[in-house]
Amino acid sequence: MTWWSILLSVVAGLVLIYLVLLGLLWRSRSLYPGTVSMRDALRLLPDLIRLLRRLAADPNVPRGVRVRLLLLLA
């Protein structure tokens, strides 16, 4: 396997997880109306990336965790 196929697999996995999360939020919205709007659900990914970036830069977080977060963001 080459590096780009590994990278593509990781990106595809993250997109799949995000789509499953959106599907679960959509189902939750249909079961419990008024709890989560689709606009809020779509805004979840940028907020999650910002949170991970802030955690990776926080000096209070153990170094091993910060390295894993940086690898996840890279």
- The domain segmentation of the chain, as residue ranges, is 3-73
Contact 20, 13 (CB under 8 A): no
Contact 44, 21 (CB under 8 A): yes
Contact 45, 18 (CB under 8 A): yes
This prediction's pTM: 0.52
CA dihedral of 42, 43, 45, 46, whole degrees rounded to 10: 150
Contact 37, 29 (CB under 8 A): yes
- Mean pLDDT by 10-residue block, N- to C-terminus, for the chain (74 residues)? 76 83 81 76 79 83 80 70
Residue 40 CA: distances (Å) to CA of 33, 43, 57: 14, 5, 26
